[in-house]
Structure 1
């Protein structure tokens, strides 16, 4: 089934973290979830393992309070948190856990999430995780299936199977790192929905160079910090912020159907909406290209 997301998908990886059922922290998280679910953006993205299941649980409370179905919630199946098992049966259990927390019977899109505890060959074999996803789609309890992870060589293999309706890759299609471009192009050619996650690269492209800065959860390194400082100056010279440039790099690409941005509060969601509306001059892109390739710390060679 064709997935038609809006340009922004709201991420909830930290939603409900460290909250207990019935606590004030849970109530605050539910209020965040309600804001996300009633925003102008089409989908809210979660996963079975986000905040140890609390992200889905909080979203479920919000859905019940709103009297809404799960048609705006995308989730992901994850490996068994204790054993690392990630096969067909685990996929079915993961889906059952997700729908129970959310209080729904079906989902518009369900991703295979971070399948690192098994090999690609194991995942696509009979009895493997991919079989479980295909069964769920065939049963009509999910409208579409996708794969969501990071290493580009691994993601290329999953896309090439032709099995999936969508793909999500994070931190590999940004102002710093363009390595996901050929995979996204292949997915687009196959008619898949393309989700580009983490356009700000662990916050580096919002906060700018600073002590302890990271890109894609790795230390940014002195060379990348220097490159980012030059980027920051170029953006300022063109009357825009680095954060706006980082977001619009993804939004303007014909390869990307939706950009996934994590949102932790209504205030952050409002800031995101302002960035979406920001005017980014066309001349900025050529000026950024003149900086040369950024020294990305990403190394996916182990998955080649």
Structure 2
């Protein structure tokens, strides 16, 4: 079954917690306020195994639930994420109408190679696993093993991405990475229509705030990933907690504890606040929430729909500058 560059029907959705449809920048593609990330999907099985029943059930829930877009990557679980999504698509008898599938080109995990040939191989691997021919959005993912100049040079990764787009194998190109200075360099080329930033616009880090506004004003579709910071803003300030894949230090934990006190005072769950800080920003087309559990889809919808009084956000601002700022690093 072929995933088409643009799918679905126009008009708002009435599902509570989806926030209606939004447009993903100049792509014209419609998304809901929340999209689902598949980074952990399929990792309950060893490499080389078939996806588990739970992984397939999670994929089906993601593909048939209230949210429009599902995002994966060639490297997630060393291919297991895309295999599980492909199994879900097969179980449904083909890619469901009204949904949007996004994935990413990745470096060779063994060698770090990330040239044009690697991008083409990455695309072939992903489409084979997913069981689709065309990808509506295809993103350059974490290009840290090559310099920007190498990626932009003849024979480099970006030239291959443009070739895939021009041949109709890809609808729109995106750049997905953490380091804001690097993301900005790729955005400034004018090649990309979509930009995915993560861990840089949360209750603990606003370093991407100005860039998000600028990217949206320039017509890019902005995707904000990791609104929970890798779990800390979903589970709270507990010993051993981490933020953005690193152990959280004491100032961060103290700030989260103050956020938790504020949430109790306003009767707002901390994860609902973390998610809605992102979804309420009109410059952000969609906010990416990861899951590998079929029940998480409904839970995410409930968090997105939970009432949050406007005064709560003023109280958050009154806490002062969040203690995390690693935006350009």
TM-score with structure 1 setting the length: 0.95
Aligned position for 1:104:
132
Matches within 5 A, 1:1-304: 1-19=27-45, 26-69=52-95, 72-296=100-324, 298=326, 300-301=328-329
Q: Deviations over 1:179-218 (max 9, x none)?
A: 1122222221221110000001011111111111111111
**Structure 2 CA distance, aligned partners of 1:211 and 1:151?**
27
Structure 1 unmatched ranges of 5 or more: none
Q: Deviations over 1:213-249 (max 9, x none)?
A: 1111112110111111111111111121111111100
SS at match of 1:162: coil
2:54·2:293 contact (CA, 8 Å) conserved in 1?
Answer: no
Structure 2 unmatched ranges of 5 or more: 1-26
Higher relative contact order (CA 8 A, sep 6+): 2
Q: How far is 1:259 from its partner?
A: 0.2
Q: How far is 1:255 from its partner?
A: 1.1
Q: Deviations over 1:164-186 (max 9, x none)?
A: 01000110001110111222222
1:18·1:51 contact (CA, 8 Å) conserved in 2?
Answer: no
Aligned position for 2:9:
none
Paired residue total: 300
**Structure 1 CA distance, aligned partners of 2:155 and 2:36?**
32
**Structure 2 CA distance, aligned partners of 1:141 and 1:153?**
29
1:171·1:216 contact (CA, 8 Å) conserved in 2?
Answer: yes
Q: How far is 1:22 from its partner?
A: 6.4
Aligned position for 2:14:
none
**Structure 2 CA distance, aligned partners of 1:182 and 1:146?**
19
CA RMSD of aligned residues (A): 1.5
TM-score with structure 2 setting the length: 0.88
